[in-house]
Amino acid sequence: MTVKSKHVRIKGIKDGLVFLLDDKCPFEDLLSELRYKLEHSHQNILTGPIVHVDVKLGSRPVTEEDKEAVLEILKGQGNLLIRSIDAVVESAQADQDVLFIMSGIIRSGQVVHHVGNLLYLGDVNPGGTVTCTGDIYVLGALRGVAHAGVDGNQEAIIAASLLTPTQLRIADCISRPPDEWGARESSMEFAYLSSGAMQIDKIHNIVKVRQGLNVFKGV
């Protein structure tokens, strides 16, 4: 069966590819064409080294399940590393507490970026980087670089099952953990900003810390 090539455009940029997906067509048609292009007409981009991919869904209203459906197709291609998947959603998009879930291993030299809050199931190895406009939660070992609140959100946090990063960033604040971090008792911890300085605490204190920040702001 032939799929007309009108809903999916693939554009090369300096450091990877941008997939521009039509926001006017039925979503199932969009998925069908994306799958067809990757399996048949665009095999040339699926060979060779890792390619970073940004996905643009336009102004289409999408759910996390919709995003995951797109990711599943792209992740079937071994050399495509999804860096971001974005949609412009009308007004109340976005419950700010929603977590987008990704899984895998972020290896040295790889960068994963997400707009919103991210729950990453897997390890971030030394040399790997994960960035996010919201919070970052890693259910695994965070041994690389993590940058939360990249657009300046100082209330963002970074949490991990094993927090032994080479560098943490929240908004514009950068912290290089001391060597003794690696010798601490293993338990899930999170990093947050207090008076402009990076602080580390046990994960069970996250509610107390966030309530304290809201009180400080007068919320």
Q: Residue 77: what residue type?
A: Q
User: Token pair for residue 123?
Assistant: 């390890």
**8: domain CATH number?**
3.30.160
- DSSP assigned state of 65: H
Same domain, 108 and 203: yes
Number of domains observed in the structure of the chain:
2
Domain boundary among 92, 111, 137: 92
Same domain, 87 and 98: no
Same domain, 87 and 156: no
**Which sign does the torsion angle of CA 40, 41, 47, 49 carry?**
negative
Domain boundary among 92, 116, 131: 92
Same domain, 46 and 123: no
Q: What percent of the chain has pLDDT over 90?
A: 28
Residue 48 CB neighbours (<10 A) = 8
Same domain, 133 and 196: yes
Identify each DSSP E strand in the chain by its residue range: 8-13, 16-21, 51-56, 80-86, 99-103, 111-114, 117-121, 129-132, 136-142, 145-148, 158-163, 167-170, 173-175, 189-194, 197-202
Same domain, 69 and 143: no
pTM above 0.95, yes or no: no
Which pLDDT tens digit goes with each residue over 176-189?
A: 665 545 455 567 89
Q: Residue 23: what residue type?
A: D
Q: What are the φ/ψ torsions at residue 206 (nearest 5 degrees)?
A: -65, -40
Same domain, 49 and 153: no
**pLDDT-derived band at 61, boundaries 50, 70, 90:** confident
Same domain, 140 and 190: yes
**188: domain CATH number?**
2.160.20.70
Same domain, 87 and 102: no
Which pLDDT tens digit goes with each residue over 82-124?
A: 888 876 644 334 455 678 888 889 998 888 888 889 999 999 9
Domain boundary among 92, 112, 143: 92
Q: Which domain holds residue 26?
A: 1-92
User: Token pair for residue 178?
Assistant: 């001391």
Same domain, 73 and 139: no
